[in-house]
């Protein structure tokens, strides 16, 4: 079940508060140095990494000398604002030792619920990865309110895995993995090394009791694994205190708990696209474009467009029609209808000169398209 991680090219790594802050005693700089060294090695091996890091609130609490996590939202937000400074500074200085740079990315639930902002976040993260930058993602605690919080960084990490279509999500915690029963209550509890993420028996094994710094226990990690599986990402839950844990996991060692997604990444993505029934508009393609989509599985370029029908926004689902009106594909468009009209028959290298900017070279990327008729 773990062999697939050996070929992973893009992963999301989430590190929890208890690990990052020495259980509330300030930033665990020694631990950060060790995890960064491992991530730097993975980067040098050609693996793209997005880091979802807890610890801002806990670091802020340490700086303010607060022993108990506050309940008032404004106090939590103040602690987060203070703690973010130390947290990001620690990552940047550590990664620079290996000639890598980091970028801070703060997200809210609205950023991922709104399709336009979702695509903007996706494009930003992909651009950072393209330039060999390690994005350090956290919830934007200073501006969100209770009703729109992710609730925990396990959930945020899973949504980021969906966002960038990661091969795997790795959750590092202070536990060795998911146990058959709570190891704090049953010292003889056995660890679950491998399981299908949808296995109903897992629900009875998890506990919702988290530490005093976090916002959830193993139950949030199971929920996150199931959320990540929607885009075909499998999840590994493992101890961040295990020496060289990231490299060991990427080598396929039997550590922690591996929760396998039932579907491959491609299958899950295509099924999601197929389920998007509401079409915002349509594009009429020339014969060459139809041939590329159906025969070669390529992306749709503006040069192959003959006509644009309907009004749509970036990120909405549009239908791709042959000159005879037969739908051959549908997918998520990278430009709105007014912009697409201006790009009819235009080669990709002219998009920026016509629109004044360029988001993507393709009108519809092949990863965001499903073929409906094959000839």
What per-residue confidence (pLDDT) applies to 212? 43
Cβ neighbors of 198 (< 8 A, separation 6 or more) are 226, 229, 262
Question: Of 136-140, 260-264, 366-370, which range is least confident?
Answer: 260-264
Note the pLDDT of residue 141: 65
Residue 365 predicted with pLDDT over 50:
yes
* Whether CATH 1.10.150.110 fits 3-269: no
Q: How confident is the model at residue 234 (pLDDT cuts 50, 70, 90)?
A: very high
Q: Which residues contact 153 (CB under 8 A, 6 or more apart)?
A: 14, 16, 52, 53, 54, 138, 139
Question: Average pLDDT, stretch 76-94?
Answer: 90
Check if the beta carbon of residue 245 is closer than 8 Å to that of residue 172.
Answer: yes
Tokens, residue 193:
């090394």
Entry pTM = 0.77
Give the lowest-confidence range in 22-26, 49-53, 312-316: 22-26
Show me where the domains of the chain are located.
Answer: 3-269, 277-371
Task: Tell me which architecture the domain covering 277-371 has in CATH.
Answer: Roll (2.30)
Do residues 54 and 214 make contact, with C-beta atoms less than 8 angstroms apart? yes
375 has pLDDT over 60? no
Rounded to an integer, the average pLDDT of 249-257 is 92
| pLDDT top residue among 338 and 159 | 338
């Amino acid at each position: 079940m773990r062999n697939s991680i050996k070929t992973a090219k893009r992963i999301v790594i989430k590190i929890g508060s208890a690990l990052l802050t020495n259980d509330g005693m300030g930033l665990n700089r020694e631990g950060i140095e060790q995890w960064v060294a491992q991530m730097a090695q993975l980067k040098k091996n050609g693996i793209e990494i997005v880091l979802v890091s807890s610890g801002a609130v806990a670091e802020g609490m340490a700086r303010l000398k607060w022993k108990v996590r506050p309940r008032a939202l404004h106090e939590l937000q103040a602690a987060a604002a203070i703690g973010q400074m130390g947290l990001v500074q620690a990552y940047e200085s550590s990664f620079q030792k290996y000639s890598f740079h980091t970028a801070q990315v703060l997200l809210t639930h609205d950023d991922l619920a709104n399709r336009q902002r979702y695509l903007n976040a996706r494009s930003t993260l992909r651009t950072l990865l393209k330039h060999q930058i390690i994005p350090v993602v956290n919830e934007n605690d200073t501006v969100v309110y209770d009703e729109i919080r992710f609730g925990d960084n396990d959930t945020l990490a899973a949504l980021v895995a969906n966002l960038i279509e990661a091969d795997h999500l790795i959750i590092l915690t202070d536990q060795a993995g998911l146990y058959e029963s709570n190891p704090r209550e049953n010292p003889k509890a056995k660890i679950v090394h491998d399981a299908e993420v949808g296995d109903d028996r897992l629900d009875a094994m998890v506990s919702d009791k988290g530490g005093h710094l976090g916002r959830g226990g193993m139950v949030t990690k199971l929920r996150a694994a199931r959320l990540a599986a929607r885009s075909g990402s499998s999840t590994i839950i493992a101890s961040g205190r295990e020496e060289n844990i990231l490299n060991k996991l990427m080598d396929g060692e039997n550590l922690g708990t591996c929760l396998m997604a039932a579907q491959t990444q491609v299958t899950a993505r295509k099924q999601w696209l197929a389920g998007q029934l509401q079409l915002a508009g349509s594009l009429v393609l020339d014969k060459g474009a139809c041939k590329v989509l159906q025969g070669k599985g390529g992306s749709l370029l503006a040069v192959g467009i003959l006509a644009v029908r309907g009004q749509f926004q970036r990120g909405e689902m549009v239908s791709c029609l042959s000159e005879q009106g037969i739908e051959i594909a549908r997918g998520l468009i990278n430009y709105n209808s007014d912009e697409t009209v201006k790009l009819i028959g235009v080669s990709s290298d002219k998009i920026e000169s016509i629109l004044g900017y360029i988001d993507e070279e393709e009108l519809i990327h092949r990863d965001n398209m499903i073929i409906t008729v094959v000839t």
